[in-house]
Amino acid sequence: MSTPKPRPSLPKRPARAAVPTPANFEMLDTTHREVMATLERLQQWVDLLDADGVTAATRATADEICRFFDGSARAHHAAEEIHVFPSLLTSGDAVLVQHVHRLQQDHGWLEEDWLELQPQLRAVVEGYAWYDLDFLRAAVPVFTDLYRDHIALEENIVYPESRRRQA
């Protein structure tokens, strides 16, 4: 038996930019529908919490809402930042770039809003009664309105333009 000859080293290939992964708009649209449904549940949950206080139902609903906004919603924003926004920011279209900058700013504000809301919901999940109902009544509509405006801008202007560019 002969020993195999060592393979000659090949020259290193030059580094290239990664091929961008196109956005999965079906997944993004599905998450938008889930956001809208979860926002509705959040508003209903505040009313239920006001009426019933901390119960098994308010605890379970708060946990589901937290899991959604801590997980799927954050992942959705990250996917947009990676797969949708970059090509639009280099489009040369000043109005489109302004819209994308607004959406990026919205992501920050939505995160800030959620970081204020989440401990209130987590308190209920854990069975505590130290939540602030007045805060929830004031903060939930702000969070909800921003999310609705954000999604409207994405679905009516930004997503169609991104789809057109990916086609």
Stretch 111-138: mean pLDDT, rounded?
98
Q: Tell me the pTM.
A: 0.85
- 21 has a pLDDT exceeding 80: no
- What is the predicted pLDDT for the residue at 19? 47
Confidence of residue 17 (pLDDT cuts 50, 70, 90): low
Domain 25-166 belongs to what architecture?
Answer: Up-down Bundle (1.20)
153 CB-near residues (< 8 Å, 6+ apart): 99, 102, 103
Alpha-carbon span 51 to 120, nearest angstrom: 16
- Residue 91 DSSP code: S
- What is the predicted pLDDT for the residue at 18? 56
pLDDT tens profile 57-99: 999 999 999 999 999 999 999 999 999 999 999 999 999 999 9
- What is the predicted pLDDT for the residue at 62? 98
